[in-house]
Amino acid sequence: MSFGWGTLFITGLAIAGGALLASRVQRRLDGIAATMVDVSHGRLDARIPLTGNGDDIDGVSAQVNAALDRLSALVDGMREVSANIAHDLKTPLNRLQMILEQAVDKAASGEDVSTELTDARAESLQINETFDALLRIAQIEAGARKARFVDLDVGGVVDTIGEVYADVAEDDGKSLSTSLVPETKWYIHGDRDLLMQMLSNLVENALRHCPPGTAIELAVSRQDDSILVRVRDNGPGIPPGEREKVFERLYRLDSSRTTPGSGLGLSLVKAVADLHGATITLEDNNPGLVVSVSFPAVKSPAA
């Protein structure tokens, strides 16, 4: 008799415990569902509450929250880019409109409009270059180019850039040199064309914003398990407070707004570095700037 009552008591406890556990799980699932509903309605700051006990539901919730953090950052970035595009392209579009209006007025009076047409062509080319750069950055960030990655010697890329731009620098009253250890290979996993574009942008950035007499150096070295590519100069440098901002799309320093450019060169550099799993830092060269890109090293090329 007592055994039967004991069995009923234990069964009742099991049912009650199961119901309580199911209720707690259901509440947490309801919290997840409510968060996803909030996100679908545009509240990108909504996050799934965590209990902190480290169970499977907490683990999945933490991963979903991380994905929501990334989504929120991407949306904020797109809003900022849209605002920057509207702001920075308004000026050249206004200039283009004024030039065309002048051309129409001159044509109506029988005057020569070749100067206005040349200026309009230059403005339209600059606008197209800006949009082309934005599209390249978007393609790189999408990761589509990773299919073309191979093991390659980044020292060879640096050497090629040094040869291509040495005469350009000399014609501009500056010097460009490369620092490579002879008979040494610096293998990384990457896309040669993108790496060429990245280093070209860094060198052109130095050439554009540094005065005559500036010395620019390209160097490659190994640091633990990383390959370090540096572009250094003894020009005016970048103020510490501006060094993170220069990687933003269409951002330009006040001192560089009178020089040609769209403010997308370093944004593309950052996109290429991120695609290669590399970190990029800007440091003071006293005087000047040192741009360091640290790539994960590959021991030897793939067979």
pLDDT in tens, 140-174: 777 667 778 899 999 999 999 999 999 999 999 99
Calculate the alpha carbon distances from 54 to 57, 59, 128, 297 in Å: 8, 6, 52, 35
User: Which pLDDT score is estimated for 187?
Assistant: 92
Residue that wins the pLDDT comparison between 106 and 12? 106
pTM of the model: 0.65
Q: What is the mean pLDDT of the chain?
A: 81
For 57-69, how does the pLDDT look when each residue is reduced to its tens digit (9 = 90+)? 778 888 888 888 8
* Token pair in block for residue 218: 């390209």
Query: Among the CATH numbers 3.30.565.10, 3.40.30.160, 1.10.1040.10, 3.40.50.1370, which is that of 147-296?
Result: 3.30.565.10
For 187-204, how does the pLDDT look when each residue is reduced to its tens digit (9 = 90+)? 999 999 899 989 999 999
User: Which pLDDT score is estimated for 73?
Assistant: 76
Calculate the alpha carbon distances from 276 to 26, 31, 155, 189, 191 in Å: 43, 38, 16, 7, 8
CA–CA distance, 138 with 144 (Å, rounded to integer): 10
User: Which pLDDT score is estimated for 303?
Assistant: 44
Judged against a pLDDT cut of 70, whether residue 19 lies above it is answered with no
Q: What is the mean pLDDT of residues 176-185?
A: 84
Given its phi and psi angles, is residue 136 left (phi above 0), alpha (psi -120 to 50 degrees) or beta? alpha
Q: What is the mean pLDDT of residues 29-50?
A: 80
